[in-house]
Amino acid sequence: MAQPLVPELLRRHLAELAERDERADGRGRWDARNLSVEVGVLERAEGSARVQMGDTIVFAGIKFQIQTPYPDRPDEGGLMTSAELRPVAGRHLEPGPPSPESIEMGRVVDRGIRESGCIDTKDLCIIAGEKVWQVIIDCFAISDDGNLFDAFALAAIAALHNSTLPGERFDVGEDRPLPVNKTPIMCSFHKVGGRFVYDANREEELGGDERIHITLGADDHVHSLQKGLKGTFTASEFAEIMDVTKQRCSELRKIIDSL
């Protein structure tokens, strides 16, 4: 990504707003933007979801492939997550090889899903030692107005819940739903004007500093954490964020599980 111009006035204004406990778009500190989640939106994918948060729009598609298992884990399948931030999604996005930002996004979303154990890789076994399923999650940004991390993570788990293992197409049995035994949810926080806020839009990301991403699974178990960009935070700031995360993850989990 090209280094965007960050107007001095923006940072100053965001700090003034933060002092008054306000955000530029009128939201409260922990408020989310309008959210919409749809599943089963991509006909060629074996599972899919479209997530819109404010003006941020992403797709996640699940594709399955068959591969030979690793010799030391003959009855376990594989999981791979990739995130694409193509130029379609923003003026600031340039063509070229995957940016460090998009690679980080893919890996952070992957860890949240993988470490939660929501997919038991033994469920992906077809013939031990010969054939196992590989699950590929492709996160794809269409419009970047901030907080792609959460949009990708939400779309990914919604798409997984919506997936069908295509046994018939690969001639290895009947089609069956992909077993997904829990719903990990990611919440991201950006330090804007000196304090953390939830679901930052692009202007807040631009004028803000460091960010923290937390993925929680069932019973508030922590499955992944990531701190990004330059800056510091205290234990009490983190504890405050964690409280908000527990609340928000629970809300989002209900939404995903009800689709």
Partner 1 sequence: MSSSGASDGRTSAASGSLVIPGDKISTEIDGKLGHGVMKLNGSIIATKLGYVVEKGGELSVTPLHTAYFPRPGDLVLGYIEGMRANIWFIDLGAPFNAILPMSLAPMKVEFGATRDAMNVGTAILCRVQEIDESHSSVVTMKGMGLRKVNSGFVDSVAPHLVSVLSSGNEPIINKIKDSSNCRVILCANGRIWVDGEPEGIRIVRDTLAFIRENADSDKISSKVANYLNKGNGE
Partner 2 sequence: MGYGDVQMIDENGNRVDGRKAGDIRPIEIELGVVPVADGSASVRWGTNYVIASIYGPMEAHPRKIQRQERAVLDVRYNMAPFSTTDRFRPGFNRRSREISKVTAEALESVVLLELYPRSKIRVEIEVICAEAGTRCVGLTAASLALADAGIPMTDMVVSVASGKINDVVVCDLNKEEDNYGEADLPMGVLPNTGELVFLQMDGDLSPEQFQEAWDYNMDAAMKIHVLMKEAIANKYGGES
Q: Which does 136 bind (CB under 5 to 8 A by kind): partner 2, partner 1, none?
A: partner 2
Looking at residue 215, its amino acid is: T
Q: Which of residues 38-67 bind partner 2 (CB under 8 A)?
A: 42-45, 48, 55, 57, 59, 61-63, 65
Residues that contact partner 2, how many (by CB under 8 A):
30
- Which residues are 131's β-sheet partners? 127
Name which position in 2, 18, 24, 241 contacts partner 1 (CB under 8 A).
24
211 neighbors 227 (Cβ within 8 angstroms): yes
CA nearest neighbour of 113 among 65, 74, 149, 69: 149
Query: How crowded is residue 190: how many other Cβ atoms within 10 Å of its Cβ?
Result: 25
**97 to 8, 87, 101: CA distances (angstroms):** 31, 11, 11
Token representation of residue 224: 């992944």
Site mask for partner 2 (CB under 8 A), range 147-186, x = bound = ----------------------x-----------------
In the numeric block, which tokens belong to residue 81?
């997550």
5 binds partner 1 (CB under 8 A): yes
Query: Which of partner 1, partner 2, none sits in contact with 225, Cβ below 5 to 8 A by type?
Result: none
Question: Does the footprint of partner 2 cover residue 99 (CB under 8 A)?
Answer: no
Measured CA to CA, the distance from residue 22 to residue 16 in angstroms comes to 9
Our CB check for partner 2 shows the closer of 191 and 202 to be 202
- Pairing relation of β-strands 176-177 and 164-165? antiparallel
- In the complex, what is the shortest distance from the CB of residue 238 to partner 2, in angstroms, rounded to a whole number? 31
User: Contacts with partner 2 in 122-141 (CB under 8 A)?
Assistant: 136, 138, 140
State which residue, 11 or 86, has the beta carbon closest to partner 2: 86
Q: What is the distance between the alpha carbons of residues 141 and 161, in angstroms, rounded to a whole number?
A: 20
Instruction: Note the helical H segments in 147-222.
Output: 148-161, 202-207
Give the interface with partner 2 as residue ranges (CB under 8 A): 42-45, 48, 55, 57, 59, 61-63, 65, 82, 84, 86-91, 95, 136, 138, 140, 142-145, 169, 202
Give the interface with partner 1 as residue ranges (CB under 8 A): 5-10, 13, 20, 22, 24-26
